[in-house]
Amino acid sequence: MASHTKREMAREALERVGLQGKETRLPAEISGGEQERVAIARAIVNRPLLLLADEPTGNLDSRTGEQVMELFGDLHQQGMTIVMVTHSEQWARMAQRTVYISDGRLATEQIRDERPIWPSLQAVQGT
């Protein structure tokens, strides 16, 4: 793959997480929330079929968290399956399948009959 194509893919991924114009910043020069979004950009840059996300909104303010979840919705609409760990009931409700874990064991599992916003978003919720 040509290096200009790789750069374009990286720029596009950074733009999708709202970090356009910060391509040359070092980690110490950006906030913790921006670092979290860089991690998401790195995860999606090669357009994988499966995205594993461990508390992707945990260190973000509510507005940025909503933007990340909107991005996940867009990625799902493009065919990506998302498996997400979260403590947020709000985000877990968006999944078709939610697995609840307590003390390291499967506590319950919920599969919704109605179509959620993002049908293949699966959430694993810890207590």
- The per-residue pLDDT for range 77-107, each reduced to its tens digit, is 888 999 999 998 888 888 888 899 999 998 9
| Nearest of 91, 125, 127, 96 to residue 111 by alpha carbon | 96
Whole-structure pTM value: 0.76
The region that residue 104 occupies, defined by phi over 0 for left and psi between -120 and 50 for alpha, beta otherwise, is left
Q: 120: domain range?
A: 49-127
In this structure, are 60 and 82 located in the same domain?
A: yes
* Same domain membership, residue 124 and residue 62: yes
Q: 16 or 2, which is more confident? A: 16
Number of domains observed in the structure of the chain: 2
Residues 117 and 56 in one domain: yes
The C-alpha atoms of residue 23 and residue 13 are separated, in whole angstroms, by 11
What percent of the chain stands above pLDDT 70? 86
User: Are both 121 and 92 inside the same structural domain?
Assistant: yes
53 and 113 inside one domain:
yes
Q: Residue 73: which of 14, 115, 125, 11 has the closest Cα?
A: 115
Average pLDDT value for the chain: 85
119 and 84: one domain?
yes
